[in-house]
């Protein structure tokens, strides 16, 4: 049995639900029933069919709805692992930090190409960090206070899943100086990111320790699932860029959140119109069960 969840950015209209059911039927789905509309914006369609075909039938330009198709088994996940920049927060921290050095545009261009998968991640990261050499570390605190905002729905998502016994992990190709406070605010139980080297209150332009890259994100997912006694089918991975693709592809539910094209193509579900609370709806968790931020 499969479940297709339709999630509207605003209010779910009957016509949108009917249209989604028609598309699923045309893709070979055999619908057994349609569930009630939850919170005025989400509804489940229960059906059988070929999962890949049904997912391929979903994208419709111009519709402000997201449609997620998944197996009914292990629908509610027991491990959540997520990227940080442009996923759990609204910005790319290195780009914003570069603004305090007067080189935001220069670094942001490299960041964008890395997220698109056009550049080697580690090489691009080390190159951008080198450009920050000489920046006073007080700029990090300023950046946190002035530029870093959590993504809409992030705190509700993480704290609701944690309250239901889910292991929550924030893994970032960015920096611990940002990831640690973000993790505390959102309620992640585990956090891993890169470490900026500093000396006498100044960034040296170097990194300390092993790099958190795409491979490390996937490894952390596998290790965390194994230590928790979970199968990968019980895990959800969320990200937006090329660096997130291996963990997105590995998880039982890989979610591309307002993502770059390569990440969206690799994911089981692409959320384009909703905030992060869509990840609760797709697990069958309506607002009466949420821990609100």
Q: What's the rounded Cα separation, in Å, for the pair 212 and 217? A: 7
Beta bridge partners of residue 270, listed in sequence order: 256
pLDDT mean over 62-67: 84
Q: What's the rounded Cα separation, in Å, for the pair 67 and 270? A: 8
pLDDT of residue 64: 87
Catalytic residue among 44, 83, 240, 244: 83
Query: Residue written as tokens 């992030």?
Result: 154
Q: What's the rounded Cα separation, in Å, for the pair 214 and 122? A: 9
pLDDT in tens, 276-289: 999 999 999 999 99
Q: What's the rounded Cα separation, in Å, for the pair 42 and 19? A: 14
pLDDT mean over 139-151: 97
Report the SS3 class of residue 6: strand
Q: What's the rounded Cα separation, in Å, for the pair 20 and 137? A: 51
Q: Per-residue confidence at 60, pLDDT binned at 50, 70, 90?
A: low
pLDDT of residue 62: 64
**Has residue 15 got a pLDDT over 70?**
yes
Residue 85 falls in the annotated catalytic set: yes
pLDDT mean over 271-279: 97
pTM of the model: 0.96
Longest CA span, the chain: 66
Domain-wise residue ranges, the chain: 1-73
Residue 83 falls in the annotated catalytic set: yes
Report the SS3 class of residue 177: helix
pLDDT in tens, 188-247: 999 999 999 999 999 999 999 999 999 999 999 999 999 999 999 999 999 999 999 999
The CATH class of 1-73 is: alpha beta
Catalytic residue among 85, 95, 240, 268: 85
- Alpha helices, H only, 27-173: 51-56, 93-99, 104-115, 121-130, 138-146, 154-163
Q: Per-residue confidence at 63, pLDDT binned at 50, 70, 90?
A: confident
Cβ contact 178:91 at 8 Å: no
Q: Per-residue confidence at 32, pLDDT binned at 50, 70, 90?
A: very high
Report the SS3 class of residue 95: helix
Q: Per-residue confidence at 293, pLDDT binned at 50, 70, 90?
A: low
pLDDT in tens, 78-121: 999 999 999 999 999 999 999 999 999 999 999 999 988 899 99
184: left (phi over 0), alpha (psi -120 to 50) or beta: alpha
pLDDT mean over 265-285: 97
Token code pair at residue 242? 């090329």
């Amino acid at each position: 049995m499969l479940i297709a969840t339709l999630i509207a950015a605003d209010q779910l209209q009957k016509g949108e639900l009917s249209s989604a059911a028609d598309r699923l039927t045309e893709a070979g789905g055999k619908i057994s029933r349609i569930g009630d509309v939850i919170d005025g914006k989400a509804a489940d369609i229960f059906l059988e069919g070929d999962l890949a075909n049904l997912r391929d039938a979903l994208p419709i330009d111009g519709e402000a709805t997201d449609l997620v198709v998944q197996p009914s088994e292990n629908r509610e996940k027991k491990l959540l692992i997520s990227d940080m920049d442009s996923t759990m927060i609204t910005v790319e921290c290195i780009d914003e930090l570069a603004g305090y050095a007067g080189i935001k545009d220069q670094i942001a261009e490299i960041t964008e190409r890395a997220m698109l998968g056009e550049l080697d991640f580690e090489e691009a990261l080390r190159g951008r960090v080198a450009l920050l050499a000489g920046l006073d570390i007080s700029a990090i605190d300023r950046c946190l206070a002035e530029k870093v905002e959590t993504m809409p729905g992030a705190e509700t998502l993480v704290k609701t899943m944690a309250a239901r016994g889910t292991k929550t992990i924030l893994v970032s190709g960015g920096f611990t100086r940002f990831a640690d406070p973000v993790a505390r605010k959102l309620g992640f139980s585990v956090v891993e990111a890169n470490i900026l080297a500093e000396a006498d209150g100044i960034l040296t332009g170097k990194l300390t320790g092993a790099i958190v890259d795409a491979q490390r994100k996937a490894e952390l997912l596998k290790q965390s699932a194994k230590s928790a006694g979970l199968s990968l089918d019980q895990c959800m991975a969320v990200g937006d860029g090329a660096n997130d693709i291996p963990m997105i592809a590995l998880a039982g539910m890989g979610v591309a959140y307002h993502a770059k094209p390569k990440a969206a193509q690799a994911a089981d579900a692409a959320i384009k119109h909703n905030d992060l609370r869509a990840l609760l709806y797709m697990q069958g968790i309506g607002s009466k069960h949420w821990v609100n931020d």
